[in-house]
Amino acid sequence: MPVKPLVFIPDSQLRLISKPVQGMDKDVRRLVDDMFATMYKAPGIGLAAIQIGEPLRVVTLDVSRRDDTQEPMTLINPEITWHSEELREMEEGCLSIPDYYASVERPDKVRLKYRDIDFKEHEIEADGVFATCIQHEIDHLNGILFIDHLSKLKRDRVMKKFTKLARQRDDEA
Ligand code: GNR
Ligand code: NI
């Protein structure tokens, strides 16, 4: 289960619309394994495939936060079928935007349709951190980042900082 390098802003891959998975095969299973390895190592509570450079609608998730009670979830082709009118604000971060955190308002509850690792369809209701994380990951599948939900001023400031960092890294290489 190799840990893969993460894709960071301002890499334009993060703006791609990821493609639906047509069915499970060895390649998709290997991708899911690599995503869990990369997500747990980071560590993060969720990961979208595009964050390791694969534009497929695959998400790994584990909001348990504790090593002794892992609750890994694989979401293939996830779709939100309903969301509450009620919103909730939560501090978010993103592995593709290291060490930057900001509050985002999103629907408090969602209904989620997805396929599991056996390509079996499920529909579940989610709230709390779980609901926030699902929405953050589905945004990734559509080329959207949590900073897109902030003011243009804040977003521009973050993009500028990371663009400068990337240029310094390139200069050093
Ligand atoms: O690890 C992560 N933590 C997190 C915290 C609040 C809201 C969303 C997240 S997802 C993030 C990992 C990540 O970047 N997933 O795309
Ligand atoms: Ni993210």
Task: Report CA(145)–ligand 2 centroid distance (Å).
Answer: 7
CB 74 within 8 A of CB 117: yes
CA dihedral over 153, 159, 162, 166, signed as positive or negative: negative
Could you identify the atom of ligand 1 that is nearest to the CA of residue 140?
16
Q: Is 72 helix (H, G, I), strand (E, B) or coil?
A: coil
Checking if the pLDDT of 173 tops 70, the result is yes
- Could you give the percent of the chain with pLDDT greater than 70? 97
137 is catalytic: yes
What is the predicted pLDDT for the residue at 71?
87
Ligand 1 within 6 A of CB of 47? yes
What is the predicted pLDDT for the residue at 54?
98
Task: Report CA(68)–ligand 2 centroid distance (Å).
Answer: 24
**For ligand 1, atom 13: residue with the closest CA:** 94
CB 113 within 8 A of CB 121: yes
Q: What pLDDT, in 10s, does the model give residues 39-95?
A: 999 999 999 999 999 999 999 999 886 666 778 999 999 999 999 999 999 999 999
CB 8 within 8 A of CB 96: yes
Report the candidate in 26, 43, 139 with the shortest Cα–Cα distance to residue 83: 139
Largest CA distance in the chain: 49
pTM of the model: 0.96
Task: Report CA(133)–ligand 1 centroid distance (Å).
Answer: 6
Task: Give the domains, in start order, of the chain with CATH numbers.
Answer: 12-172 (3.90.45.10)
Could you identify the atom of ligand 1 that is nearest to the CA of residue 136?
8
Residues within 5 Å of ion ligand 2, judged at the Cβ atom: 94
Which own/partner pairs from 47-51 qualify as long-range (CB within 8 Å, at least 24 positions apart)?
47/95, 47/137, 48/18, 48/137, 48/140, 48/141, 49/18, 50/7, 50/13, 50/14, 50/16, 50/18, 50/140, 50/141, 51/6, 51/7, 51/14, 51/95, 51/96, 51/140
